[in-house]
Amino acid sequence: MSEVLLIEDRGAVRILTMNRPDKLNALNHALTQALHDALRVADADERVGAIVLTGAGRAFCAGADVSEFAALTAEDKQAIAARGELTMRLHLLFSEIGKPVVGAVRGHALGGGCGLALACDLVVASETARFGYPEIKRGIVAAVVMANLVRQVGRKTAFELVSLGEPARAERALALGMINRVAADDRLLDEAAALAATLAGMSRVAMGATKRLFHRVADMALGEALAAGRDANIAMRAYRREAKS
Ligand code: COA
């Protein structure tokens, strides 16, 4: 059986490639777990400064593997709960690790796949990309993925995406702030890797602290968020003094 996740280093950039191209990289249990574990390993590896997440073949990721869910019945409560937990942990992990993750998206990024793209810190997409949440059209809910979506685009747009289930092309996703850059399809991975290399070249301590603070303040009330920024400011000044002496 071929590996569901390919792992390759380009200098200080670790490239994780979801590798189920014949299933448009649908997230089965094995791929979800492998991605979760690989993010943790990359975060702990001091040779790695930044991560790129991409998909093999014509799609980034077509979401949860619906064939796996079709095999489950209402009686499989433990399996259903364990899978929901793993998916939730994977999406949370992007914000917990100190190293920045750049998504490189071509083709479909749907449901859980769109959620993974939005969980990345920065996203480069090719003009072939389609970002969307088609769950409603299947009579199900864009569930775990809703948390990042509603934090990253306006509420009206977020509700439109989850209630109509129509995908957004790369240019619209860019205008909505779902992604950072659009690249030519044949340049996608190189551009994402170059962006990741720039991030990897920054101070690791400053990048980790920036990422931690970013995710903390995004969800806080203003007063609390400013206090968290003040604390990070003091901590970084102390760090820089120690680093110089
Ligand atoms: N889970 C499992 N398999 C999937 C999948 C998914 N989410 N999405 C695509 N695949 C599989 C297809 O079953 C097909 O496999 P097969 O060749 O063995 O039959 C293969 O990937 C290619 O998909 P196909 O539908 O033939 O490609 P397409 O270009 O005609 O259509 C999509 C692409 C993305 C529009 C279509 O595959 C789709 O709607 N997928 C489901 C997307 C979705 O609802 N995601 C949220 C799940 S909760």
> What atom of ligand 1 comes closest to residue 142's alpha carbon?
48
Q: Report the separation in Å between the CA atom of 74 and the middle of ligand 1, taken as the mean of its atom positions.
A: 23
Q: Are residues 169 and 240 in the same domain?
A: no
Q: Report the separation in Å between the CA atom of 58 and the middle of ligand 1, taken as the mean of its atom positions.
A: 12
> What atom of ligand 1 comes closest to residue 111's alpha carbon?
46
Q: Are residues 137 and 105 in the same domain?
A: yes
pLDDT of 73 reads: 81
Give percent above pLDDT 70 in the chain. Answer: 97
pLDDT of 155 reads: 96
Q: Are residues 23 and 106 in the same domain?
A: yes
Say what the pTM is.
0.94
pLDDT of 244 reads: 63
pLDDT of 199 reads: 98
pLDDT of 110 reads: 98
- Structural element, H or E, at residue 149: helix 146-152
Helix, strand or coil, per DSSP, at residue 217: helix
* Residue indicated by tokens 């702990």: 44
Q: Are residues 176 and 223 in the same domain?
A: no
> What atom of ligand 1 comes closest to residue 137's alpha carbon?
44
Helix and strand numbers, DSSP H then E, in the chain: 10, 9
Q: Are residues 210 and 97 in the same domain?
A: no
Q: Are residues 104 and 36 in the same domain?
A: yes
- Residue nearest atom 4 of ligand 1, based on CA coordinates: 23
Tally of domains in the chain: 2
Q: Are residues 116 and 174 in the same domain?
A: yes
Determine whether 224 is an active site residue.
Answer: no
Q: Are residues 195 and 221 in the same domain?
A: no
Q: Are residues 225 and 127 in the same domain?
A: no
Secondary structure (DSSP) of 222-241: HHHHHHHHHHHHHHHHHHHH
- Residue nearest atom 18 of ligand 1, based on CA coordinates: 23
Q: Are residues 216 and 154 in the same domain?
A: no
pLDDT, one tens digit per residue, over 96-133 is 999 999 999 999 999 999 999 999 999 999 999 999 99
Q: Are residues 195 and 213 in the same domain?
A: no
Q: Report the separation in Å between the CA atom of 61 and the middle of ligand 1, taken as the mean of its atom positions.
A: 9
pLDDT beyond 80 at 2: no
Local confidence band at 87 (pLDDT 50, 70, 90 cut-offs): very high
| CB-CB neighbours of 31 under 10 Å | 21
Domain containing residue 112: CATH number: 3.90.226.10
pLDDT of 74 reads: 77
- In sequence order, the 6+-apart residues with CB closer than 8 A to the CB of 38 are 5, 7, 16
Q: Are residues 81 and 192 in the same domain?
A: yes
Range of the domain at 78: 5-200
- Rounded distance, CA 185 to CA 166, Å? 22
pLDDT of 77 reads: 85
Taking CB atoms and a 6 Å cutoff, what residues make up the pocket around ligand 1?
23-24, 26, 62-67, 108, 110-111, 134-135, 138
